[in-house]
Amino acid sequence: MDEGVFSEWLKVSGDQVQAGDMVYLLEGEKAVQEIESFDSGTLCIPRDAPKPGDKVKVGQVIGYLLADGELEPTSVYPPAWAESQTQAVSATQAVESSKESFITASAPPFSPPRVAGPAARRLARQLGVDIQSLSTPDPTGRILSEDVRRVASASDPSSSLHVPPASSGSGMTAQDARRKSVQPIKAFASPRARRAAMECGVRWDQVKGTGRDGRVRERDIIDFVSRPLSILHDQTVGPVPAIAPVAPIAPGHQEPVSKIRQTIAQRMLAGVQHTAPVTLTTKVNAQALVAWRTKLKQNTSSDIIPSYNDLIVKLVAQTIQELPQLNACWYRDGVYRFSAINIAIAVDTEFGLIAPVINNVPELSLHEIAQQSRKLIDRARCGKLSQAELQGATFTVTNLGMFDIDLFTPIINLPQGAILGMGRIVREPVVCDDRVVVGDTLSLSLTIDHRVIDGAPAARWLQRLSQSIQQPVTFTTGP
């Protein structure tokens, strides 16, 4: 992520913070996360710190952790920037208060504070480098640790760099500083590149990076995976040029999209490009399933009645227990088997498609599954899901039956290896004991990663699920 929305402080100014304490809430693209502190000290929140609802960029200063006896900063911005803002405000007030003469006042040029990560700021303090004076080739203007090292090396040609004496809260002594030497910059990868490499089953350190200082980017991983097999071992071959998008040829206009829409687009594209997707479809006699839910509605005293989606989640988990081949993904040129059965349920919200996770489904009763799914759906539609509630799924169930859809092609949610799509339950003629009668049918669409499992075992899995739908009570209660 490049930016988020500040939600609230979990501590107040003056509180003692220990490393590992949760300090504030940050709203990302799909969830609200608790952010922990990596250092200890006394929390200081200046008046101009972000307020709930303010957008904050990655690396932006929002407060301070102070050592004992350290003076409290009055602003989250550097002194020069804060002074320029004060002078600008004073000049504006002077112009407005003078009705008889023109007052010309010039404030220092606007220079917003530099964006830098915690590691870069910590290294700058240790090496005595002013973050505001640094330049970086990064197009976003974000200061990285290597920028600090480069400037520090240029200011001291010798091999050892001067590290100012540490303050009481820095955790570094003069002896530590003498031992510390600047290491040569090594090739590294962005978090998104590492995630893409893991999903594609490749080692990022074997990919030639096109970023600054050989940094491996997500596009490098995608280009590497997209190359023809015959040239993968040719180290002289650079990344395959990306295909330019086809421009629209009819009149229209470009609409801006939200961060979550961009994330969904990236994830869906990755689900197609980084897997070998195959979709199997079937139609099941759902008369017993309908009768089962009708009985549950009549016999339950709870306000929460299991939905058809809840029933299928329960049956899917038990089918996975019998035939666990689908509870896996492709990783590092092999099949990775999940030990837990955690099922994500796709939820349509005004923000976009979100898939919260029900953990350890086989251990839950049907009523517990219904309670958790209702809670997750409500939190998803209110935008209050935590990151933990969106992670760890090993299989996904998605339902479009409420929109009168019978069959569709669901896209695998990486790093999972399969996803089940549910269509609508339809009243229609069915053949029973050589007689045509009115019955209920349910259409299912199972998309698998053919690298993980072949078509025949996947078909057997779908066949077993279909049998359980036709005899759900017997299947869930066991022998």
The one-letter code for the residue type at 378 is D
- Regarding beta strands 418-432 and 395-399, do their DSSP bridges make them parallel or antiparallel, or are they unpaired? parallel
Does 415 sit behind a cis peptide bond, omega within 30 degrees of 0 on the bond before it?
yes
Beta-bridge partners for 27: 5, 32
CA–CA separation, 90 vs 79, rounded Å?
Answer: 16
Identify the burial level of 112 via C-beta atoms within 10 angstroms of its C-beta, where 0-12 means exposed, 13-18 middle and 19 or more buried. exposed
Please compute Rg for the chain using Cα positions.
Answer: 29
Q: Whole-angstrom Cα distance, residue 297 to residue 106?
A: 74
Q: For the chain, first and last CA: distance in Å?
A: 50
Count other C-beta atoms under 10 Å from residue 393's C-beta. Answer: 23
Q: Pairing relation of β-strands 64-66 and 41-44? A: antiparallel
**Which residue in the block uniquely carries the two structure tokens 């259409």?**
443
Ramachandran quadrant class, 474 (left: phi over 0; alpha: psi -120 to 50; beta: rest):
alpha
**What's the token pair of residue 77?**
């911005």
Measured from the Cβ of residue 343, the count of other Cβ atoms closer than 10 Å reads 27
**CB distance 87 to 107 below 8 Å:** yes
- For tokens 């990755």, the residue is 270
**What count of Cα atoms within 13 Å lies in the side-chain half-sphere of residue 18?**
1
Length of the chain: 479
367 is catalytic: no
DSSP state of 22: E
SS3 assignment, position 420 = strand
Q: What is the distance between the alpha carbons of residues 67 and 284, in angstroms, rounded to a whole number? A: 67
Which residue's entry shows tokens 């994500």? 344
Choice among 233, 253, 367, 450 that is catalytic:
450
Q: What is the β-pairing status of strands 335-337 and 343-345?
A: unpaired
Q: List the beta bridge partners of residue 285.
A: 441
Phi and psi at residue 228, to the nearest 5°: -60, 145
Q: Which amino acids are annotated catalytic?
A: 450
